[in-house]
Amino acid sequence: MSTIKTKDGTEIFYKDWGSGQPIVFSHGWPLSADAWDAQMMFFGERGFRVVAHDRRGHGRSSQTWTGNDMDTYADDLAAVIEHLDLNDIVLVGHSTGGGEVAHYIGRHGTKRVAKAVLVGAVPPLMLKTEANPNGLPIEVFDDIRKNTYENRSQFFYDLSMPFYGYNREGAKVSEGIRMNFWLQGMQAGIKPAYDCIEQFSEVDYTEDLKKFDIPTLFLHGDDDQIVPIIASAMISSKIVPNATLKVYPGGAHGLAQLQPDQFNNDLLAFIKG
């Protein structure tokens, strides 16, 4: 397997396929780089170099006890980028990975980055506060913690329903997609998966977003039950200078898996635009 070792000795697994302008993908919770398979194939076949890593504690990377925080996630992403000496990058982050992309730019700047795409992404802040009244109450995330701690196998399988909008009337359920979600989730270590919940829910990425100085696209479903659009992309796209927001009517959280043809072509048009 292709891995790098970070400063604290953590092994980070990554895929590095193809050649051309690099597109670097950051996955959501509790998934792995495999969540981007449809995009890796599509863009790899069209002359791009496609790179995706498993966040520490997830997938095939080390199951870490410590360092499961957004500062370290962003630095791990930087370590992969620097190890591969990537430049002129299109950074793509889904959900928690969108927070990772934002925090990477906040900490490391855009000298290696040409464009950014945030998909169903958690910035600026998921948690409901006085300053963020449209966020989700802390009880929602406490319940995620409780279920992850007590029976994450059942919880991840159940979570795949709202994640893909399969709990909506008339939805055509794919058991394959649900099982793939479950499998990727179960590859994660329970401690890093548990720790990551705080990172996607309680970290405020507002100051990171203010540092974006590159073309940025926000893609978000208006029926996202995991990261409601009203508290995320609707706000983030106004913070990032000259950002573009594309809303998928009726779209759920897992856009890249549910609507890969539309998603891939929208992403390709943005990259070439």
Catalytically active residues are 95, 224, 253
Give the closest residue to 229 by CA, choosing from 134, 127, 160: 134
Give the closest residue to 3 by CA, choosing from 16, 18, 17: 16
Q: Is the dihedral of CA 68, 74, 77, 82 positive or negative?
A: negative
CB 25 within 8 A of CB 101: no
Provide the H-helix boundaries in the chain: 37-44, 70-83, 96-108, 138-163, 175-187, 190-202, 206-209, 233-239, 255-258, 260-272
